[in-house]
Amino acid sequence: MKSIVRNCLLGALITVATQTASAATFVNVLTGGTSGVYYPLGVTLSQIYGEKIPDAKVQVQSTKASAENLNLLQSGRGEIGFALADSVSDAWKGDADAGFSKPLDRLRAVASVYPNYIQIVALSDANIKTLADLKGKRISVGAPRSGTEINARAILKAAGLSYSDFSKVEYLPFGESVELMKNRQIDVTLQSSGLGVAALRDLSTAVKVNFVAIPADVVAKVGDAAYGAAVIPASTYDGQSVDVPTAAINNLLVTHEKVSTEVAYEMTRGIFENLERLGTSHAAARQIKLENAVKGLPIPLHPGAEKYYREKGVIK
């Protein structure tokens, strides 16, 4: 009799544990390097999701950013991630040169969020004033096949340059690139990020630098609608006394088709009902606007995100 009772209790415990496990909602937020913008925004998003999504088990993953995030989402190893619009377009098409051996057809859009600015920063004594002056210099262009590195290739090509024009090319994340700059092991770094990124704030306070302009005619030569002419406003960084023309590309938040409508809806709502909180985690998030959420999306919108936008009148 005791063994029967014990077995019944054990069975009940297993049933309860199974039900609890199945009720949990896993949300892995894919970001980028810890010295960029994706990571602090992802941390805040994870906190919001942990509070707002019932039974959520949330974690943040630091990655190599756009390309890695998109490949992870395609394989179901993340529920939401940041990526640049041009990388998302390349992933959807299956551009092998951009790091996508086949089309990533499971990707779905959540929102267009804030723009990345391509920021080319040189040591003041490296005599780099224009894009043409980059020839023969030592440069870091971001982690291999990251969104930054894809942007670097596009802008340099539009300016009539290639990696072979440099005396040295490093493929490093923001923080590591800055350390090489401080140690004078490279002359210039190209970083695609939101304005006021921590790595460049650190660099501009540590050594004298100047920002290299990307003229509007060069941006136009990229030939990709994802790239638009923009300006890094004066005083964004220490010692930057004038506006600097550059290129900008929108960042997207992306999910995949296997994420439920309910979870995608809550993830979308979590973004736009907590904009002030996101803005305190990084200034770049202050540019996120609900009215811009579905503009310029190169992939289909997730039904859960679409439901939220229809409720808010963004989609009629």
Which domains does the chain possess? Answer: 25-114+250-312 (3.40.190.10), 116-249 (3.40.190.10)
- Residue indicated by tokens 């959420």: 293
Q: Work out the average pLDDT over 211-231.
A: 96
Give CA separation, 217 vs 19, 62, 229, in Å: 59, 35, 9
Give the tens place of pLDDT for each residue, 222-273. 999 899 999 999 999 999 999 999 999 999 999 999 999 999 999 999 999 9
Which pLDDT belongs to residue 12? 47
CB atoms within 10 A of CB 184: 12
Query: pTM of this prediction?
Result: 0.86
Distance CA 239, CA 178 (A): 16
Distance CA 312, CA 290 (A): 9
Q: Please, what is the average pLDDT of the chain?
A: 93
- Non-local CB neighbours of 2 within 8 Å, separated by 6+ positions: none
187 φ, ψ to 5°? Answer: -100, -25
Give the tens place of pLDDT for each residue, 130-171. 999 999 999 999 988 888 999 999 999 999 999 999 999 999
276 pLDDT more than 80: yes
Count each helix (H run) and each strand (E run) in the chain, helices first: 11, 10
Q: Work out the average pLDDT over 100-129.
A: 97
